[in-house]
């Protein structure tokens, strides 16, 4: 009898273990997305300063979505390289005494960030018809935002990666969602600080903004000289350059659409508050699936065929459902703020419409870049993130215009 009970207990235990493994990705996705509510902090900060600071200039509105997107792009490249590097042994889970590969990847972020700052400022100048005399302040404000946020975000991303890896969690699933949420807050804080310096401190602020930008440029010269003979440094810049340019151009679409509804946004504060969390969550959903695909490609666990997406359908469904749960939460928060069911449906409808396209895009980019001998980590998250932000912002703008 005791033997029978022991057998039954073992069978029950095995069944529970199998069930746990079956829904492992779902629970890891729920866990990794649990950090996206931090995007609400970024949203609250943005909403608080929207009227008195952000709307002070049209270009300052236009660059905000681009800052969120491109910080996600830069952070995504770092997260992807850290995740894969940890898995294949190119990076050690330590902030000190790490590999040269790690330091090359980390320092390449500065060049990419300043490039984004320049592109963002010129495009914002063009689409907002800003007077030529303001171009200088746009450029150095954008550079200051990039420099300040980079110094805060990169160490935070590395710490999250190393802690997750040491605790047996999969960085492919956990890292980018956590780090991107932190990046939203830190980049929004950097954005607000830079605008305060530029707009509220008058001549002194102008000098400070220029000093920050010039220091960043000087550091870039030092880094480039130090790694001038490192092929991996130039490979990262070469492959990431195209993705960064594409991402920045696409991201400005978000800025353009925000400009079109800037007055409606004053009456839709609840959407402003959940906006960073919405783009963060959907980007994380697609990034997790893309990162899993990238690692499996490197390890030879999946074939480089777009048609093979069906073989990962079960994993994909778990990740998608976790995203829908969080969108329901954010929609409910918007409803509680505004007491309008329209705000709830704006969140849900935008997720249902945009998510399938973004997930398919992330998978396709991973497959196509891998087949062409490129590193998918330099392309998947940057392209997916920028398209996510642009499509979701456009969708939300249209829904606000129609429903508010």
- Percent of the chain having pLDDT more than 90? 32
Higher pLDDT, 147 or 402: 147
The answer as to whether 225 is a domain residue is yes
Mean pLDDT, the chain, as a whole number? 85
Q: Over 80: is that where the pLDDT of 280 sits?
A: yes
Task: Report DSSP state, residue 379.
Answer: T
Would you say 137 and 206 are in contact if contact means Cβ atoms under 8 Å apart? yes
Confidence label for 51 from pLDDT (cuts 50, 70 and 90): confident
The pTM of the full predicted model, rounded to 2 decimals, is: 0.78
CA torsion, ordered 238, 244, 245, 247, to nearest 10 deg: 150
- The structure tokens listed for 240 are 């990431």
**In this predicted structure, what is the pLDDT of residue 311?**
76
| Residue-range definition of the domain harbouring residue 47 | 35-403
Residue 358 located in a structural domain: yes
pLDDT at 11 over 50: no
Supply the pLDDT for residue 79: 85
Is the pLDDT confidence value at 15 over 50? no
In a domain, 9, yes or no: no
Q: Examine residue 11 and state whether it is found in any structural domain, yes or no.
A: no
> Is residue 54 included in any domain, yes or no?
yes
Distances (CA, A) of 309 to 278, 283, 360: 25, 19, 9
Out of 3-17, 27-41, 61-75, which region has the weakest mean confidence (pLDDT)? 3-17
Q: Which of 356, 352, 384 has its CA nearest to residue 368?
A: 384
The rounded distance, in Å, linking the Cα atoms of 51 and 204 is 23
Q: How many domains does the structure of the chain reveal?
A: 1
In this structure, is residue 47 part of a structural domain?
Answer: yes
**Average pLDDT estimate for 122-130:** 89
Stretch 372-387: mean pLDDT: 79
| 9 pLDDT higher than 70 | no
Question: Higher model confidence: residue 385 or residue 82?
Answer: 82
Say if residue 18's pLDDT is above 80. no
Q: 217 in helix, strand or coil? A: helix
Q: Is 4 part of any domain? A: no
């Amino acid at each position: 009898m005791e033997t029978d009970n022991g057998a039954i207990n073992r069978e029950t235990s095995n069944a529970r273990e199998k069930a746990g493994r079956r829904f492992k990705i779902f629970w890891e996705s729920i866990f990794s997305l649990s950090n996206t509510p931090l995007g609400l902090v970024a949203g609250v900060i943005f909403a608080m300063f929207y009227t008195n600071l952000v709307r002070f200039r049209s270009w300052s509105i236009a660059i905000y979505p681009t800052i969120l997107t491109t910080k996600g792009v830069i952070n995504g490249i770092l997260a992807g390289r850290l995740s894969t590097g940890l898995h294949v042994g190119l990076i050690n889970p330590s902030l000190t005494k790490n590999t040269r590969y790690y330091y090359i990847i980390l320092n390449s972020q500065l060049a990419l960030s300043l490039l984004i700052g320049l592109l963002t400022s010129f495009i914002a100048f063009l689409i907002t018809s800003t007077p030529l005399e303001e171009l200088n302040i746009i450029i150095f404000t954008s550079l200051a935002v990039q420099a300040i946020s980079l110094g805060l975000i990169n160490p935070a991303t590395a710490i999250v990666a190393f802690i997750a890896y040491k605790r047996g969690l999969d960085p492919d699933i956990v890292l980018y969602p956590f780090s991107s949420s932190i990046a939203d807050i830190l980049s929004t804080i950097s954005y607000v600080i830079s605008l305060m310096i530029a707009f509220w401190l008058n001549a002194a602020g102008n000098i400070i903004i220029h000093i920050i930008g010039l220091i960043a440029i000087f550091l870039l010269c030092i880094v480039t000289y130090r790694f001038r003979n490192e092929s991996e440094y130039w490979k990262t810049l070469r492959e990431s350059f195209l993705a960064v340019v594409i991402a920045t151009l696409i991201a400005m679409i978000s800025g353009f659409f925000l400009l079109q509804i800037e007055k409606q946004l004053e009456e839709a504060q609840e959407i402003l508050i959940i906006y960073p969390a919405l783009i963060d969550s959907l980007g994380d959903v697609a990034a997790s699936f893309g990162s899993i695909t990238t690692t499996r490609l490197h390890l030879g666990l999946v074939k480089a065929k777009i048609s093979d997406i069906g073989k990962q359908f079960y994993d994909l469904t778990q990740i998608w459902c976790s995203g829908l749960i969080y969108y329901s939460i954010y929609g409910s928060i918007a409803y509680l703020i505004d007491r309008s069911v329209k705000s709830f449906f704006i969140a849900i409808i935008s997720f249902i419409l945009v998510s399938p396209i973004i997930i398919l895009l992330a998978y396709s980019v991973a497959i196509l870049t891998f087949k062409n001998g490129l590193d998918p980590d330099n392309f998947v998250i940057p392209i997916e993130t920028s398209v996510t932000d642009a499509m979701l912002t456009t969708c939300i703008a249209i829904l606000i215009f129609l429903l508010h």
